[in-house]
Amino acid sequence: MNDVQIPGTLWIVSAPSGGGKTSLTRALVPKLNANNWPAEISVSYTTRDPRPGEVDGVHYHFVDEITFATMVEHGDFLEHAEVFGKHYGTALSRTKQLLGNGIDVILDIDWQGARQIRARRSDVQSVFILPPSAEELKRRLSNRGQDSDAVISARMTLAHAEMVHYAEYDYLIVNHDFDRALEELASIFVARRLRSATQQVRNERLIASLLE
């Protein structure tokens, strides 16, 4: 049993559109929780319209431009960015609440948001996910069946602009195979919780009794 409550870690997971970060992070959370490593994906605010199958409050908090601008003015976001003319932001209060309860918080954001958070917090950990090839990335974007050729081309251009920032992150995963990438991602999260300094605090009484 843990002796004390250790604050959660703030994680940034970034990838180009089609890189697989959404599927990986959504598979990661139940995997971690099943092994008593509590984690949760932050639900961002956005001004874009919901895509088919997306649910407000689950995938995103969908708000209008005026509401988003007001939240920015009030300092309600840990970070916010504009992508393809639409705004995205991470709620500050909810993030602090989860971290304080010992829950790792996963931010599915781009390099712009990552830079903002690094400027505000020194304890953030970050992972970048790369596709195995440009051809595979284009195939994944095309298989969504939701976007025109022009939009796919624009997303490929944006993906390149995103990927050039990979070296700014602490960890790098190449998503050749989903199951392997998921195991690699999980290992990073678990290793962070098993650091000696963290375990010394978490198991203070146990260690003291063993060393008596």
Task: Give the contacts of 73 (CB within 8 A, at least 6 positions apart).
Answer: none
pLDDT above 50: residue 162: yes
The predicted model gives 21-42 an average pLDDT of 95
Indicate the SS3 state at residue 88: strand
Using CA atoms, how far residue 135 sits from 19, 82, 139, 144, 177, in Å, is 12, 27, 6, 15, 15
Whether the pLDDT of residue 53 is over 70: the answer is yes
pLDDT value at position 4?
65
The pTM (predicted TM-score) of the whole model is 0.88
Residue 13: the pLDDT is: 97
Lowest-confidence pick of 62-76, 116-130, 145-159:
145-159
Q: pLDDT at position 3, please?
A: 52
pLDDT at residue 144 greater than cutoff 90: no
Q: Which residue type, as a one-letter code, is found at position 176?
A: H
Residue % of the chain over a pLDDT of 70? 96
Token pair, residue 206, equals 């146990």
How high is the pLDDT of residue 1? 47
The CA distances from residue 85 to 48, 65, 88, in Å, are: 9, 11, 10
Question: pLDDT class for 153, splitting at 50, 70, 90?
Answer: confident
pLDDT for 143: 73
Please determine, for residue 97, whether its predicted confidence score (pLDDT) is greater than 50.
Answer: yes
Q: Is the pLDDT of residue 51 over 70?
A: yes
Domain residue ranges in the chain: 10-210
Architecture of domain 10-210: 3-Layer(aba) Sandwich (3.40)
